[in-house]
Amino acid sequence: MKQPKILAFVMAGGEGSRLSPLTSQNSKPSLPFGSRYRIVDFVLSNLLNSGIHSIYMLVQYKSQSLIEHVRKAWVVSPMRNEEFVTVVPPQMMRGGDWFMGTSDAVYQNLNLIQMHNPDLVLVFGADHVYRMDLQQMIDFHREREADVSVAALPVPLVEARGFGVIVADHAGRVSEFQEKPEKPTPMPSDPTRAYASMGNYLFDAKVLVDALKAAAERGEHDFGQNILPRLKETHRLFAYDFATNKVPGVKPYEEQPYWRDVGTLDAYFNAHQDMLAWPPRFDVFNPQWRIFSSNYQGPVARMLDAKLKNSVVAAGSLVHSASVSNTIVRREVIIEDDVEIEDCIIQDYVHIKRGAKLRRAIIGGYNVIEAGTRIGYDPELDGRRYSVTESGITVVGPGEVTTALRAFSE
């Protein structure tokens, strides 16, 4: 079977208001994740590892740091015109509006589809941490002669109430979409779980173009709320079961498969804990399915009589006589003597001075934590100074406790 020509759109315009104050200067997809990545790196790595190299990233809110990251980290091939990751802000080519919704963002860039003339178009979100071999979804789509395939995650019925739920038969043919239903319809093969939409779609190119034009005429702007429910009445829509996706190199001890929506501060923190757990639920070290990111040119990390336990310290960081436990320390962080850090995420370019104590906290980039500071020990005091999540995680926004207010630039 001849390989189809595929064009991908990555929806990276999310404002990420539920991740405030971490998103005070950056969009959600550009947020740091782990020791050296950004959230957007996961979807881009999945695409490239799956052999999909023609990628447009649609951006909108607070996009400068994301644009800089893609410019520096995602130069795919300057020699081949069909291999690229290109950032596309709102072009206003069909009016004076910004992107009004997910489908409107693609509609405003119909010229890109017409220019490339693909057989299939992928529309994937940039807000999730996961690994996925997209070729398996493409094979599923073609075997069923589908017009649209929607990636579906099996979740317990109680959790499904917070998702858009897909109702499908044993073959995967979609019959209904339910938006955060009180009583989700179970999967046909498992009465305890339901299919939750992952917001990742694969379209026949002509079906997509026609649907976008029709939606624009009706003033509709969203895939999940408008386009897909209408298409299921006239076209072949299928749910692709993400649980069947097998990525090479995933270790037996990892969660099979792993997918997290890191759209809240608690979810963001917990996903980092999944990486720190031993054995980790999600092990980013996989030579057969690499997660790509920026090529940092600074020095390696340096430890001076430091006490480290189950922690990751990124390049360029310097840890003096400090104790760091169950923590992710990103690059060029300075941790002075007698500092104690436990269960934390320390983002780039933070300086933690002598004697400070941090526990169950997220410290945004470019902060200076003064000597003797206590964070995570007094919830009432923390709540007056910073943000505190429902589970008790204290969050200090980027540059919140320093005058060096700058957006992430690397």
Which residues are known binding-site members? 164, 179-180, 197
DSSP state letter for 223? I
**How far, in Å, CA of 354 to CA of 335, rounded?**
8
CA distances (Å), origin 168, targets 81, 133, 187, 196, 224: 39, 22, 7, 11, 15
**How far, in Å, CA of 345 to CA of 362, rounded?**
5
- 395 near 386, Cβ under 8 Å? yes
Identify the helix (H) or strand (E) that includes residue 275: helix 265-276
- 370 near 37, Cβ under 8 Å? no
- 125 near 151, Cβ under 8 Å? no
DSSP annotation string for 337-360: TT-EEEEEEE-TT-EE-TT-EEEE
* DSSP SS3 for 42: helix
Burial pattern 205-231, b for ≥16 Cβ within 10 A else e, equals bebbbebbeebbeeebbbbbebbbbeb
Structure tokens at 251: 């270790």
Positive or negative: CA dihedral 24, 25, 29, 31? negative
How many CA atoms are closer than 13 Å to the CA of 142, on its beta-carbon side? 15
Which residues are known binding-site members for alpha-D-glucose 1-phosphate? 164, 179-180, 197
* DSSP SS3 for 211: helix
Structure tokens at 228: 């897909």
- 131 near 258, Cβ under 8 Å? yes
Number of other CB atoms surrounding residue 72 within 10 Å: 14
Within 89-186, residue ranges assigned H as helices are 102-107, 110-116, 134-143, 157-160
